[in-house]
A and B are shown apart, each in its own frame.
Chain A
Amino acid sequence: MKWQIDSDRPVYKQLIEQTEQAIVSGIFSPGERLPSVRDLAAEAGVNPNTMQRALAELERSGILYSQRTSGRFITDDEEMIDKLRYQKAEEDARTFFDNMKKLDLSADEIARLLRAIFEEDKDEKSASNE
Chain B
Amino acid sequence: MRRVRAMNSTADLLKCEDLTKKFGKDTALDNISFSLDPGHIVGLLGPNGAGKTTLIKMAAGLLTPTSGAILIDGDAPGVYSKGIVSYLPERTYLNESMTPDQTIKFFSDFYEDFDPERAGEMMESLNVNRTKPVKNLSKGTKEKLQLILVMSRKARLYLLDEPIGGVDPAARDYILNTILQNYEEDATVIISTHLIADVEQILDEVLFLQDGKLILQESVDTIREERGLSVDETFREVFRC
Q: Could you tell me which A residues sit within 8 Å of B by CB distance? A: 5, 7-13, 38, 41-42, 45-50, 53
Contact = CB atoms under 8 A, between A and B. Distances in A.
Nearest to B227: A8
A47 B41 contact: yes
A8 B177 CA distance: 21
6 closest A-B pairs by beta carbon, nearest first, are A7-B230, A10-B221, A47-B204, A10-B224, A49-B204, A10-B225
B90 interface: no
Secondary structure dominating the interface of A? helix
Given A42-B180, A48-B180, A49-B39, A11 B229 contact: no
A7 B197 contact: yes
B238 to A, nearest CB: 16
Contacts, number: 54
Interface string B218-236: 0011001100111011000
Interface in B186-241: 197, 200-204, 220-221, 224-225, 228-230, 232-233
Contacts of A13: 221
B176 A45 contact: yes
A57 to B, nearest CB: 12
B221 A12 contact: yes
A11 B220 contact: yes
Interface in B21-75: 39-41
Given A7-B200, A7-B232, A42 B177 contact: yes
Contacts of A53: 221
